[in-house]
Amino acid sequence: MSDEQKDYDGIQYKADDRMPAIFKLLLAVLLIWGVCFMGYYLFSGWSSEAEFAEKKAAQEKLIAERQQAQQQKQADGSAGAPAAKASAVDAEKLYNDSCLACHGAQGSGGIGPALGAAQPFKYGRTEAELTSSIADGRPNGMPGYKNDLGPDKIKALVDYILSLK
């Protein structure tokens, strides 16, 4: 039994066997890749702080845009006609519950006169006149709603009527 080739219970250790070429290749490739990898992070100028700052700036811009859109919406809402849209959900339901029976769907008319923008309004179509028509009623069959609906709901209905076409 030589030094180079020992035999342990039938398992042979061959000291002079060379490392398989595939491992050498793997080692070389990994070394090259490692150098490139480190080089990239050292010299490309990339840093996690910069990436974070960039993402943060984009996020803040998005939030600012959303807030601006929100404020725009509120500003539009307080400036007349689009306000009807803002409260349309409530007002339309209110209208359907209290007024539709006589004035038809979306003010198309019935027992009571049609309430579209194209209709002639006997008692006027300004905010004050509409409020008075709804709150106090009108002689030929229009009940007053002062006691049933508060001023907020009457205002919503006025806006709703003004939003009708």
Residues forming contacts to ligand HEC in the complex (CB under 6 A) are 98-99, 101-103, 111-113, 115, 121-123, 130, 133-134, 138-143, 145, 157, 161
Taking the least distance from each CB to ligand HEC, the nearer of 76 and 125 is 125
What is the rounded distance in angstroms from the CA atom of residue 164 to the CA atom of residue 114?
A: 10
Nearer to ligand HEC, 76 or 135 (CB): 135
Q: CB 165 → ligand HEC: shortest distance, Å?
A: 15
> What's the rounded Cα separation, in Å, for the pair 153 and 155?
5
Q: Quick one: 77 or 131, whose CB is closer to ligand HEC?
A: 131
> How far apart are CB 75 and ligand HEC at their closest, in Å?
27
Cα 111 to Cα 127: distance, rounded to the nearest angstrom: 23
Closer CB to ligand HEC, residue 83 or residue 130? Answer: 130
Q: Find the shortest distance in angstroms from Cβ 76 to ligand HEC.
A: 24
Cα(42)–Cα(21) distance, rounded to whole angstroms? 32
Alpha-carbon gap, residue 109 to 99, rounded angstroms: 10
- 156 exposed, middle or buried (CB, 10 Å; 0-12, 13-18, 19+)? buried
Provide the minimum distance between the beta carbon of 144 and ligand HEC in the complex, in angstroms, as a whole number: 9
